[in-house]
Structures are given as structure tokens and as C-alpha cells.
């Protein structure tokens, strides 16, 4: 009952009241709208929809952007700054819902189903989504879910970008122990996934992008991977995202894959003043004239046709 009441109150808010709760740090040219959807478990969840300011119904591209571990849709929306206005595209930032947990969905199959429904949900809220230009962008857990969306719904996407994604949930469960609050993260993982990796390995496999190497390699979805050898949250990124990229190339040497290694901190590059604009420009979602100079070190690994 509490969720239903909250939903009703949100719908009753005026546009000006919505603005009071809108993601901050969105520059001029981009507007935000709070929308709602019914998640796979029947619960009403919110999503922040970012649009070019003054959007009036023209057909535009859509980016689906799942959030990272432990943060909400509103904070994820802040990562986009004014980019939707500059590039004339929409971004939907869904709250997400796992098997048990909301902020720790960790690639739950139901959550991936919900992500695949985002274009139709956004259309129902008055946005004319171009069906040939739907993309997925995410960082950390959001990058993990972006990769799972590529694997399971390749026909949906025209491209995807994952920043410092988790690729192996069994490895992540073990590595949580070395992080601050790691025992609590392991407890949350057991609650959400249904046990430990040794107790239920299949449950961890279906949430792990490296379990879907062949599907990703054969998807034909142009994919950008960004990972750092200085990542301290996923400290073994060479064995996670780096290894995933190598496996994709081995499975399909002609896969449209662009693999970037750098020296940034975890997910620092999914920002409007970092490498997010470059990732958008590679998919023609942003003019290259709007892309800021590159900070830090970046090395493109393997072949690729994009700049």
C-alpha cells in the first residue's frame, strides 16, 4: 500500500514540483521528467527521463542507462549533465529491481527484462523513440547490466558502452571481502542472488557477462568497453573486462568491439567532462565538436574502426 500511495502522490505533483526533486547538475538545454513503470515483480518503480529542453515530439534516439551498485536512478541521471540537450537524444535512468533488492540488482534476469522494455515505457510517456537508434550505457553494475542486455536482447540495440563493468559475479563475490563493507556486500549478494557461488553457481553465471561471450560476440551490436588497471573497486579488471574483450575477439574476430584501457578511478570516465562524450560521439549521438580533450591515459586495445 505504501508504494501505491507514493506513486499516486508522485503523479499528482505539478511540473514545477517535479523540478524540485529533479537531478541536479543538469545544464541548460536538458530537462528531466520523473516517470514510473511497473517492474517485473509488479512493484511500481520510478525512472528519470532526460530530454532536450523543449522537446516537442520529434523522433529521437534513446539511451537506456542502468545505475551502478548502491545508487539510485536520480544519481545516475546526474552523470549525464547537459549531454542529452547537446546531442538531441533521450536518456532513461530506471530505478531497477532485482530478485530481492532494489539498488543491488546485479544483473537479475527480471531486471534485464525491464531494461529491454524501457523503449516502450518511454514511448508511453510521449517520447517518439527512433527504433533504429536505441543504445545502452552503464558503469560498474550498470555496465554489467548493459552487457547482459546486449547478450539477451541484441536485436534491440544499435550500440552499447560499458564503463568498468563487473563481468564475473562469482569473482565479485569473493573480491567483495577485500572492500570496505565487504562482508555486508557479500550478505546482500547472497540475499539477492540466492546463496553463495559454490552453493548455486548457475545463479551467479546467469548474472555474469563472461558467461555470454558467444552471444555478445555474435550479437553484431557495436560495443565500447572502458576499463582501468588502477580500478580499486574491481581491482582485477585485466582478468574481468580485459579478459572479456579478448574472449569476444577470439569468439568472433570481426565483432564490432572497441576496448579502451586507462588509468582512471572506478567509473570516473562516465561523466560529461570525461570519456562519456567520446563514447556518445562514436555512435553519432554527439557532435565531435562538443567533445572535451581527453584527460589521463587511454590505450585502445585490439582492432576497431571508430576513433
Q: DSSP string of 85-154? A: HHHT-EEEEE----SS-SS--TT-HHHHHHHHTHHHHHHHTT--EEEEEEEEEEETHHHHHHHHHHHH-G
Q: Which residue has the cell 542472488?
A: 193
- Which cell numbers in the block locate residue 98? 532485482
pLDDT of residue 15: 35
Is 2-301 a domain of CATH 3.40.50.1820? Answer: yes
Mean pLDDT of 264-292: 94
Confidence category of residue 209, pLDDT binned at 50, 70, 90: very high
Q: What is the pLDDT of residue 294?
A: 76
Evaluate if residue 85 carries a pLDDT over 70. yes
Across all residues in the chain, what is the average pLDDT? 89
What's the confidence (pLDDT) of residue 11? 30
Q: What is the mean pLDDT of residues 131-157?
A: 98
Given a contact cutoff of 8 angstroms between Cβ atoms, the answer to whether 63 and 91 are in contact is yes
Domain chopping of the chain, boundaries: 2-301
- With vertex at residue 3, the alpha carbon angle to CA 41 and CA 44, rounded to the nearest 5 degrees, is 40
Share above pLDDT 90 across residues of the chain, in percent, rounded to a whole number: 83
- Given a cut of 90, whether residue 8 has pLDDT beyond it is no
Instruction: Label residue 156 left, alpha or beta by phi (over 0 means left) and psi (-120 to 50 means alpha).
Output: alpha
Rounded Cα gap, residues 305 and 282, in angstroms: 10
Is the pLDDT reported for residue 302 higher than 70?
no
Helices 182-189 and 169-176: crossing angle, nearest 10°? 140
Convert the pLDDT of each residue in 40-53 to its tens digit.
Answer: 999 999 999 999 99
CB 93 within 8 A of CB 76: yes
Distance CA 107, CA 207 (A): 5
Is a pLDDT exceeding 80 seen at residue 296? no
The confidence score (pLDDT) of residue 18 equals: 40
Question: Binning pLDDT at 50, 70 and 90, where does residue 14 land?
Answer: very low
Strand ranges of the sheet holding 90-94, from the earlier edge strand across to the other edge: 30-38, 44-52, 90-94, 60-64, 129-139, 159-163, 223-228, 257-262, 298-301
pLDDT at 301 over 90: no
The pLDDT, as a whole number, for residue 142 is 98
Q: 48 with 77: CB under 8 angstroms?
A: yes
Q: Rounded to an integer, what distance in angstroms lies between the CA atom of residue 84 and that of residue 90?
A: 6
Amino acid at each position: 500500500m505504501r508504494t501505491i500511495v507514493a506513486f499516486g502522490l508522485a503523479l499528482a505533483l505539478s511540473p514545477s514540483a517535479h523540478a524540485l526533486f529533479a537531478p541536479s547538475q543538469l545544464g541548460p538545454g536538458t530537462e528531466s521528467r520523473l516517470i514510473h513503470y511497473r517492474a517485473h515483480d509488479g512493484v511500481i518503480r520510478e525512472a528519470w527521463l532526460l530530454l532536450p529542453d523543449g522537446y516537442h515530439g520529434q523522433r529521437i534516439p534513446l539511451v537506456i542507462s542502468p545505475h551502478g551498485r548502491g545508487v539510485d536512478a536520480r544519481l545516475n541521471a546526474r552523470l549525464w549533465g547537459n549531454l542529452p540537450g547537446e546531442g538531441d537524444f533521450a536518456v532513461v535512468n530506471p530505478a531497477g529491481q532485482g530478485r530481492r533488492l532494489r539498488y543491488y540488482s546485479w544483473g537479475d534476469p527480471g531486471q534485464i527484462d525491464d531494461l529491454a522494455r524501457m523503449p516502450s515505457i518511454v514511448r508511453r510517456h510521449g517520447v517518439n523513440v527512433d527504433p533504429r537508434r536505441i543504445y545502452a550505457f552503464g558503469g560498474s553494475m550498470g555496465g554489467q547490466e548493459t552487457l547482459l542486455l546486449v547478450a539477451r536482447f541484441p536485436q534491440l540495440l544499435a550500440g552499447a558502452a560499458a564503463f568498468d563493468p563487473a563481468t564475473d559475479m562469482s569473482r565479485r563475490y569473493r573480491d567483495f571481502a577485500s572492500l570496505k563493507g565487504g562482508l555486508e556486500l557479500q550478505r546482500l549478494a547472497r540475499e539477492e542472488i540466492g546463496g553463495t557461488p559454490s552453493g548455486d553457481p548457475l545463479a551467479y553465471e546467469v548474472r555474469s557477462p563472461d558467461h555470454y561471450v558467444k552471444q555478445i560476440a555474435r550479437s553484431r551490436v557495436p560495443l565500447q568497453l572502458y576499463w582501468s588497471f588502477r580500478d580499486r573497486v574491481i581491482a582485477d579488471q585485466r582478468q574481468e573486462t580485459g579478459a572479456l574483450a579478448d574472449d569476444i575477439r577470439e569468439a568472433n574476430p570481426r565483432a564490432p568491439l572497441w576496448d579502451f584501457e586507462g588509468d582512471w578511478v572506478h567509473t570516473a570516465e562516465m561523466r560529461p567532462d570525461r570519456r562519456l562524450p567520446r563514447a556518445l560521439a562514436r555512435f553519432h549521438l554527439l557532435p565531435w565538436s562538443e567533445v572535451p580533450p581527453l584527460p589521463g591515459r587511454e590505450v585502445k586495445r585490439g582492432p576497431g574502426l571508430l576513433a
